[in-house]
Amino acid sequence: MYAVFKNGGKQYKVQEGDIVLLDKMSLEPKSKIQLQEVLAIVDGEKSKLGTPFISGALIEAEVINEGRAKKVITFKKRRRKDSKVKRGFRRDFTRVRIVKIVG
């Protein structure tokens, strides 16, 4: 059984027990959250699809910790123009464990 949900403009495919990095939510570790923007639930051959969300479906998750990802370097160079731009970016995240899929 797996589910597809939306969080922070991105879609995630998860099963019970999975660990997912979501956008930062400023929550305490070991707190419970409910993700209600469930797009699809597939259980074997049965599947439920939302338009756009499934009413009454939710995903229960437990916050593990918060942190920052490794730095991603963006480098742009245009040849023959002496134009270079180098920037770094670190994503803030909340690491959660999927406890239960209710649908």
Q: What is the pTM of this model?
A: 0.81
Q: State yes or no: pLDDT of 86 exceeds 90.
A: yes
pLDDT at residue 80, as a whole number: 83
Q: Collapsing DSSP states into helix, strand and coil, what is residue 27?
A: coil
| End-to-end C-alpha distance for the chain, whole angstroms | 11
- Contact at 8 Å (CB) between 91 and 69? yes
Q: State yes or no: pLDDT of 57 exceeds 90.
A: yes
User: What residue numbers bound the domain in which 49 lies?
Assistant: 2-66+93-102
Residues 37/1/100/13 CA torsion (nearest 10 deg): -40
Question: 84 lies in a domain?
Answer: no
Residue 88 neighbours by CB distance under 10 Å: 9
pLDDT at residue 36, as a whole number: 92
Total tally of structural domains belonging to the chain: 1
Question: 40 lies in a domain?
Answer: yes
Question: 53 lies in a domain?
Answer: yes
pLDDT for 16-50, tens place per residue? 999 999 999 999 999 999 999 999 999 989 999 98
Question: 10 lies in a domain?
Answer: yes
Query: Bridge-partner residues for 10, per DSSP?
Result: 7
